[in-house]
A and B are shown apart, each in its own frame.
Chain A
Amino acid sequence: MSVSSTNGKAPNVTFTLNGATVVARGDETILQAADRHGVEIPRLCYKDGYRPDGNCRVCMVEIEGERVLAPSCCRLPAEGMKVASTSARAKSSQTLVAELLLGDMPGQGASPYKRDSELDRWAAWLGVTAPRFPQRSQPAPDMSHPAMSVNLDACIQCGRCVRACREEQVNDVIGFAGRGDHSKIVFDLDDPMGASTCVACGECVQACPTGALMPANNVGLVEPDKKVDSACPYCGVGCLLTYNVKDNKILYVEGRNGPSNHSRLCVKGRFGFDYVHNPQRLTKPLIRRDGVPKSVALIDPDDVDKYFREATWDEALDLAAGKLRAIRDDDGPQALAGFGSAKGSNEEAYLVQKLVRTGFKTNNVDHCTRLCHASSVAALLEDVGSGAVSNQVSDVAFADVAIVIGSNPTINHPVAATFMKNAAKAGTKIILMDPRRSDLARHATYFLQFNGDTDVALLNGLMHVIVAEGLANEAFIRERTENYAALKEMVADYSPEKVAPITGIPADIIREVARLYATANAAIIFWGMGISQHVHGTDNARCLISLALLTGQIGRPGTGLHPLRGQNNVQGASDMGLIPMMYADYKRVDSEDARHKFEALWDMPLDSKPGLTVTEIMTAAHDGVIRGLYIMGENPAMSDPNVHHAREAMVKLEHVVVQEIFFTETASYADVILPATAFPEKTGTFTNTDRRVQLGRQAIDPPGDARQDWWIVQEIARRIGLDWNYSGPADVFEEIRKATPSMAGITWERLEREGSCTYPLEHEGDPGEPTIFIEAFPRKGGRGLFMPAKYTHADEMPDAEYPFIFTTGRQLEHWHTGSMTRRASVLDALEPDPVISVHPDDLTRLGLAPGDPLTLESRRGKITGYARADRGMQRGTFFMPFVYNEAAANLLTNDAVDPFGKIPEFKFCAVRASVGDWVGAAI
């Protein structure tokens, strides 16, 4: 029954549909061919892109010479076949199905839950009005979930939600239970949706044809004024979506068929949008009141009036820029620094770094890439010459083997994870390596729960096996790499037997995994912050690169290296040169050629000294070297390691300008606060983890007197003496094309038309290159570099005083420091409180039950959160998301950094644990 994809290679088929000759593509069903030729056939259980199931039987057609009718949604036409979708027999069958289904709807009529119910549409099309059949029993509504309403009285059991949940998103929460007319849609063990393991991706809501599953609060009954095609503001996957807007309010969000998401979204993208309407939005410029000193304590956003007063834009901008200018002129450019944001657009990132480089006249500009993939980028630039991914996420479908290491994609990149799960179901062998067992483990062929901090030992062990067993790709090594001898010498020392006790992974498993990866036709590596956020993060990434080079698993579809990017534009912000040592396109500021190029472009002399990084800027502020800081959309008062130190540093600053949408923790330390625009309020380009440059379009107007970020940056630039006259994002993008050769071929018009372009795309009209390194690496000589790495351990190891390991990360419902997601009603309802994940055995050891307060203390700070039992944790380890300001995980983390990427060690520090007393309230 299933339609096997033949990649369009099957020959076309000519058949007759309702008397007309029709040509179907080789892999097209009768229904799809009919659609393409404008012939309407009713359908309910069929959904474009989903596996046709053929269960509703409303698409039945008559095929000449066949005894029974056929479901056109899962029947391929044959040459010369004569098909009738409108014959009396076909019509009568279609009509009866519609009548029976309509008879089961509430009131036997139109769906009360959805304006555009597909059943209503097709029933009307077929002329069905009053069903003659009795109604089946009507299940009670289930309103247990904050994001979705379940009204199974409108369910026609087409199974689209089951396929959505099991086959598309592979969350396996929805099932068909019972038999006969007792059969019904269930969540888990027939639990209320809100009590089930549902991750609220909402794919089922998007799939439901009748409104039985809908976004909560009946928004499906409201007619939007407009639909705006845009992108998701959260992670680096780069899902495209559509905002449905009424009266300048976002009603609901739908997934759009983007290249990176195939209409899929996750809970944040689909239900996490109403932060933009939160009453705490900043709507007026604010200036710190005279005589109100700064202190380390955070300011409650509800108490802002005590500390700040409202000001006009002119006054605020004059003060913000005037003070920056004065510090520059009095103390020198090195006393200033700027933070941009990976959540801003490429245009904003470009303007911020240009402002700092040409206006502040320093390279002290950085953003949160320093806290996420700086070490990966350092290793990639060093060894393969390009900091971006070599292959796109969707390549996992072409891979025989996929290594996923130090990454929890079902939480952090949920839609990317769906493609990995799809691939696993189709036969790709997933090797998951992580100290913490995540949901992906269920789909993995191998799950290596190695001891945290031992990545280099494990990866060297794999390479040892590959070299020792003659599985290295000698031809690839000879023709396309250098420095192999050094790697060989290094890994010789890492036999599986030696590595096993270090990593906790048996030697035999290390051998099996090494063989599997090395001998695969195509094998890809995905990694996340578990690799990068260590003091040996660059070494970790070097090992992964060496693994790919050693086996030649790079430069082809289904192979390669993919550091999964965390933020929607962390790739783009780095591409734009929002980093202290590089201009746009990763041209080093200390390279004379590059500097001359940008001096010519910007018509002004530039500083040749690389600037300070995020953490260095904080230290310099602490030491009084940096005196003025401009922060656009970053929240270092939550995101920096050893965050108390960062907060102290900001208190010491003479002048802090914060450009934000909310009164963030960082705003507590501001002198001037400039109200900016949220994602749906602006237009701009954003570059996802796949190197896809995508267009986000403005859907609503900003609240109050909040202004466009590019405009604010330009006004500051003008006030410190720059002659800027950009007319808008498209104008800035034109300059970006000049500054960034790898994006030079992308035009604004093409982005408006296609929505998404993959770079490198150097010349207008090029298709873009999804796979790079096909023939050479963009290094001198074109060869990849083996950079051997020695196993070292974390900066701070557990000891008798602090015996536990503490590690941090994200959780599905929340985003980074929570400034957006804790103000999004659904997300906050799903995860309202600070939780610390603990192995159940450790809970027992500590004398705690799940939900009890637990206090953790490191050498740097102390926090209390609620203990959550998690069998995926290793014993002796605690995990905590860093989103909660009432228990900020970063008060505990260690600010020791990797020497190359300068990335802090968020993934490993030592703590002690005690029974907690009470958990504070969110500020």
Chain B
Amino acid sequence: MAEGRVAGRAVAERDFAAVLAQVKPEAERLMALYPEKRSALLPMLHAFQNVEGWLSPEAMAEAGRMLSVPLSVVESTASFYTLFFRRPIGRYMLQVCRNLSCRMNGADDVMAYFRERLGVGHLQTTDDGTFSYEEVECLAACDRAPSMQVNLEFVYDLTPEKIDELIAAMKAGTYEVAPLPQTAMPARDWHVGQDTGRKSPGGQDVSHPNAPGGMGDPSGIDLIERLARSPYPIEARPTQERLVREGAERLKHAPHNGEVEH
């Protein structure tokens, strides 16, 4: 690839042969790990992304060739995961959740606000190379919707103010997050700042579902009794209709304030 500018930044001309040479030992290790070569597809894609910082078409083609996996399967796989970046990315990779729970909790406003503030849309990078922006499927953080990830670290309960703060801190270089590429599996012991903050109603004061007496406890307590132990009286649990209605109501009252009244 000979282009001089990638994602708005001037970059040195890529030398894929050098990338390949660097990935090769890991690639050979991975291919030897599985009885079926194709099983190594995901780790192989990570191996390339770890070296290049993104997943280039050359890397995807090479991975497919090494593992005898068709290009379309490589594309289907890589495009499914938000952890693969299929274009060069900026210093901060912002991935805003666009799935159901977040949307019911105002993600449409959040996305509109990000687009306006950054001046870029889905899968785009700002001209200064600071921000890459994506709207992604469920990040599995519904309890703190609307949510996002910055360089794969979670940020919850998004509000316009919070977004302003984030952007300001990132521009000033004071935002604390590990730089990418770090697409080796994110550490499991995430430290998420301000995690003690108030949670959304569904999560409040509910014991862990698998803890004794929790919803998933298989100790023999029947469903009615478990529901009775819940902080909500059975009859007061929000119905689906109510959630939809409230969600629609909140959307009307933009700007979204991040707090949920109940």
Q: Give residues in A with beta carbon < 8 Å to B.
A: 165-166, 172-180, 182, 186-190, 196-197, 442
Knowing A180-B137, A189-B57 touch, does A175 contact B99 (C-beta < 8 A)?
no
Report chain A residues within 8 Å CB of B68: 442
CA distance A311 to B193 in the complex (A): 94
Question: Closest chain A residue to B73 by CB distance?
Answer: A175
Contact A189 B60 (CB under 8 A): yes
Residues of B within 8 A of A186 (CB): 72, 75-76, 79
Contact, CB under 8 Å: A177 / B75: yes
Are B72 and A175 in touch, CB under 8 angstroms? yes
Which of chain B's residues has its CB closest to A180's CB?
B137
Chain B residues with CB under 8 A of A174: 72
Identify which of B75, B80, B98, B136 contacts A188 (C-beta below 8 A): B75
Which residues of chain B have C-beta atoms less than 8 A from A166's C-beta? 72
> Once the chains bind, are A173 and B72 in contact (CB under 8 Å)?
yes
Q: Which B residues are in CB contact (< 8 Å) with A176?
A: 76
Check A179/B80 contact, CB under 8 A, given A189-B57, A189-B60, A442-B68.
yes
Secondary structure of the B side of the interface? Answer: helix
Question: Is there an interface contact between A188 and B72, defined as CB atoms closer than 8 Å?
Answer: yes
Known A179-B80, A179-B137; judge A197-B71 contact (CB<8 A).
Answer: yes
- Contact with A190, one of B70, B75, B98, B99 (Cβ below 8 angstroms): B75
A738–B123 alpha-carbon span in the complex (Å) = 72
**Distance of A144 from chain B, by nearest CB (Å):** 16
User: Do the beta carbons of A188 and B79 come within 8 Å of each other?
Assistant: no
Q: A186-B79, A189-B74, A197-B71 are in contact. List 4 more A-B contacts (CB 8 A).
A: A173-B72, A177-B79, A179-B136, A189-B61
Docked-complex contact B98 and A175, CB < 8 angstroms? no
Q: Can you list 27 A-B contacts with CB-CB less than 8 angstroms, sorted by A residue number?
A: A165-B72, A166-B72, A172-B70, A172-B72, A172-B73, A173-B71, A173-B72, A174-B72, A175-B70, A175-B72, A175-B73, A175-B75, A176-B76, A177-B72, A178-B80, A179-B79, A179-B137, A180-B99, A180-B137, A186-B75, A189-B57, A189-B60, A189-B61, A189-B71, A189-B72, A189-B74, A197-B71
CB-based contact B75/A189 at 8 Å: yes
User: What's the tally of chain B residues with a CB closer than 8 Å to chain A?
Assistant: 17
A180 x B98 contact (CB < 8 A): yes
Give the distance in Å from the alpha carbon of A190 to the alpha carbon of B78 in the complex.
Answer: 11
Complex: how many Å from CA A188 to CA B65?
13
CB-based contact B79/A187 at 8 Å: no
Distance in angstroms from A779 CB to nearest chain B CB is 44
Question: Could you tell me if A187 and B137 are in contact, using CB atoms closer than 8 angstroms?
Answer: no
Q: How far is the CA of A859 from the CA of B61 in the complex (A)?
A: 41
A196 to B75, CA, bound (A): 12
> Hey, which chain B residues are within 8 Å of A189, CB to CB?
57, 60-61, 71-72, 74-75
**Nearest 6 pairs of A and B residues by beta carbon:** A175-B72, A172-B70, A188-B71, A177-B79, A175-B76, A179-B137
Bound Cα distance from A879 to B73, whole angstroms: 30
Residue of A nearest to B136 (CB): A179
CB <8 Å contact, B79 and A178 = yes
B76 contacts across to A, CB distance below 8 A: 175-177, 186
Q: Which residue of B lies closest to A173 (CB)?
A: B72
Q: Which residues of B contact A177 (CB under 8 A)?
A: 72, 75-76, 79-80
Residue of A nearest to B65 (CB): A871
| CB neighbours of A165 from chain B (8 A) | 72
**Nearest CB of chain A from residue B196's CB, rounded to whole Å:** 32
Question: Which residues on B sit within 8 Å (CB–CB) of A182?
Answer: 137
CA distance A180 to B70 in the complex (A): 23
Q: How far is the CB of B113 from chain A (nearest CB, A)?
A: 20
> Bound state CA distance, A442 and B74, in angstroms?
15
Distance in angstroms between the alpha carbons of A177 and B61 in the assembled complex = 15
- CB pair A187–B80 under 8 Å, yes or no, is no
| Cα–Cα distance between A190 and B75 once the two chains are bound (Å) | 7
Chain B hits for A187, CB < 8 A? 72
Residue of B nearest to A198 (CB): B72
Q: Interface code B116-153, partner A: CB below 8 Å = 1, 0 otherwise?
A: 00000000000000000000110000000000000000
